[in-house]
């Protein structure tokens, strides 16, 4: 199997050795010889169309036609005609009979990209094709047969669309006979530099410029960037660096000119996350930490004010200087917060005008803080979970799971 996967990579120009990528390729190679319907999921820019071509080229239909259709790019009023054809006079400007893709591609493979964008009426027509191989041209009453293998892809959560009534559940199960998940670039950290090096080498040859060389810090910057545009964004950055960089020995500082928002987007990450819900949980935890920081800062400011009123000098000033310092960024704030929370004892002003150190027992559990935030958000929005999830900055699906986990619906 390893040799087969390597052969596929060489044939289709796929670079990388991440386990998630290899697993997706192994599923594609095993399902290709069958006629099963495949649903490819993954973020925008991860290369889902390559997988559809792999499935077609390694199938018994490889000598038949292959067509890729972007369902989101075709207007709703004409998509039925594009897919299933129409007869003369069926609508304005229908001057002749026209064959649709399911008729012209018979014996081959049709790749329906962004299948979640299909209108509900078109979804019903597609379901009939998948169940019986039959379709009807727009404006006709004659049933026709087709022999087409369907490979679909989407970058949205179809389960969410189903719950919103925007996607048919029966069609989802027809399409999802064999699911393939293409990993995002941030889940393939070990492949990022390999891809960047290949892209810059190609662009250097194309534009006849010297090859780009990254120092160690620049390589780490590439690996730690979130890459929301995935491979498409990485290729774009590689081309910019190849053409616009004045020094071919590129440092991390040089690279920041091409991805200037790195400082804001590259937060400390909990590694091992595989899906959007885990990323949302991480964001929620940072929200909790920032709220804790704000509460601690307010407390220190209050104590400092009280101490100054009594002409006392306390160590609260040290804490206020720390939070007001412009040199503290997120990477240093959080670990120092953790240290202060466990070592600092708040100063309490007693009635005699003197100060004393008193240990205040307060729960610093992230779980407790998370439950408190969720409860506040639900109360604020009067139980409307969608609004509460939006306010918390997490997905509605993650909020449902957290409510169930913490028994907050009781």
> pLDDT tens digits, residue range 105-151?
999 999 999 999 999 999 999 999 999 999 999 999 999 999 999 99
Rounded to whole angstroms, the Cα distance separating 26 from 36 reads 15
DSSP 3-state helix, strand, coil percentages of the chain (rounded to 5)?
Answer: 55, 10, 35
Higher pLDDT, 345 or 12: 12
What is the end-to-end Cα distance of the chain in Å, rounded? 51
Mean of all residue pLDDT scores within the chain: 82
Rounded to whole angstroms, the Cα distance separating 348 from 303 reads 7
Beta strands 213-214 and 178-181: pairing type? Answer: unpaired
For residue 265, pLDDT over 70 is answered with no
Rounded to whole angstroms, the Cα distance separating 393 from 387 reads 10
Note every long-range contact of 274-277, with CB atoms under 8 Å and residues 24 or more positions apart, other chains counting: 274/20, 274/187, 276/157, 276/395, 277/395, 277/397, 277/398, 277/401
The beta strand positions in 30-145, using DSSP E, are 38-41, 66-70, 109-113, 134-136, 143-145
H helix or E strand, kind and range, residue 356: strand 355-357
| Contact yes or no for 73/29 (Cβ under 8 A) | no
Rounded to whole angstroms, the Cα distance separating 49 from 51 reads 5
The beta strand positions in 30-185, using DSSP E, are 38-41, 66-70, 109-113, 134-136, 143-145, 149-154, 178-181
Rounded to whole angstroms, the Cα distance separating 149 from 59 reads 10
How much of the chain, in percent, has pLDDT values that exceed 70? 76
Radius of gyration in angstroms for the set of CA atoms belonging to the chain, rounded to a whole number: 28
Q: Can you say whether residue 355 is alpha, beta or left, with left for phi > 0 and alpha for psi between -120 and 50 degrees? A: beta
Rounded to whole angstroms, the Cα distance separating 342 from 123 reads 57
Rounded to whole angstroms, the Cα distance separating 139 from 87 reads 6
For residue 182, pLDDT over 60 is answered with yes
Tally of CA atoms within 13 A in the half-sphere of 42 that contains its CB: 29
**Closest alpha carbon to 406 in 321, 377, 215:** 377
Which residue's structure tokens are 């087709």? 146
Task: Specify the pLDDT at position 233.
Answer: 94
**Residue 360 CB contacts under 8 Å (≥ 6 apart), including other chains:** 345, 346
For residue 268, pLDDT over 50 is answered with no
Rounded to whole angstroms, the Cα distance separating 237 from 240 reads 5
Q: What is the mean pLDDT of residues 320-337?
A: 48
Q: Is the pTM of this model over 0.85?
A: no
Rounded to whole angstroms, the Cα distance separating 398 from 246 reads 46
**Closest alpha carbon to 204 in 238, 234, 236, 242:** 242
For residue 405, count CB atoms less than 10 angstroms from its CB and return exposed for 0-12, middle for 13-18, buried for 19 or more. exposed
pLDDT digit string, tens, across residues 191-225: 999 999 999 999 999 999 888 999 999 999 999 99
DSSP helix/strand/coil, 110: strand
């Amino acid at each position: 199997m390893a040799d087969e996967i390597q052969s596929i990579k060489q044939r289709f120009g796929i670079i990388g050795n991440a386990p998630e990528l290899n697993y997706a390729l192994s599923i594609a190679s095993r399902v290709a010889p069958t006629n099963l319907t495949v649903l490819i999921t993954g973020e925008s820019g991860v290369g889902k169309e390559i997988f559809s071509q792999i499935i077609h080229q390694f199938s018994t239909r490889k000598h038949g036609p292959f067509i890729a259709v972007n369902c989101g790019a075709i207007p709703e009023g004409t998509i039925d005609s594009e897919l299933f054809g129409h007869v003369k006079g069926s609508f304005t400007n229908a001057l002749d009979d026209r064959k649709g893709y399911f008729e012209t591609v018979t014996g081959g493979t049709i790749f329906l990209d962004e299948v979640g964008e299909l209108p509900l009426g078109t979804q019903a027509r597609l379901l009939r094709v998948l169940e019986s191989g039959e379709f009807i041209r727009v404006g006709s009453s004659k049933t026709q047969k087709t022999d087409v293998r369907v490979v679909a892809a989407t970058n949205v959560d179809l389960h969410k669309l189903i719950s919103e009534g925007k996607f048919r559940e029966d069609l989802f199960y027809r399409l999802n006979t064999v699911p393939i998940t293409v990993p995002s670039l941030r889940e393939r950290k070990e492949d990022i530099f390999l891809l960047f090096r290949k892209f810059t080498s190609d662009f250097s040859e194309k534009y006849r410029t010297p090859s780009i060389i990254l120092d160690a810090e620049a390589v780490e910057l590439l690996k730690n960037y979130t890459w929301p545009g995935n491979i498409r964004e990485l290729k774009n950055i590689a081309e910019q660096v190849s053409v616009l960089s004045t020094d071919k020995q590129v440092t991390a500082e040089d690279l920041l000119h091409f991805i200037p928002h790195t400082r804001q987007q590259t937060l400390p990450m909990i590694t091992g996350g595989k899906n959007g819900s885990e990323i949302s949980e991480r964001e929620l935890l940072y929200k909790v930490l920032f709220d804790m920081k704000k509460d601690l800062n307010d407390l220190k400011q209050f104590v400092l004010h009280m101490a100054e009123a009594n002409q006392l000098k306390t160590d609260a000033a040290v804490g206020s200087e720390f939070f007001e310092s412009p040199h503290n960024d997120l990477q240093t704030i959080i670990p120092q917060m953790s240290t202060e929370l466990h070592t600092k004892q708040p100063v309490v002003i007693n009635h005699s005008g003197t100060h004393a150190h008193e240990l205040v027992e307060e729960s610093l559990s992230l779980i407790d803080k998370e439950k408190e935030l969720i409860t506040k958000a639900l109360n604020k929005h009067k139980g409307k979970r969608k609004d509460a999830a939006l306010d918390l900055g997490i997905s509605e699906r993650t909020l449902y799971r957290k409510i169930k986990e913490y028994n907050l619906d009781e």
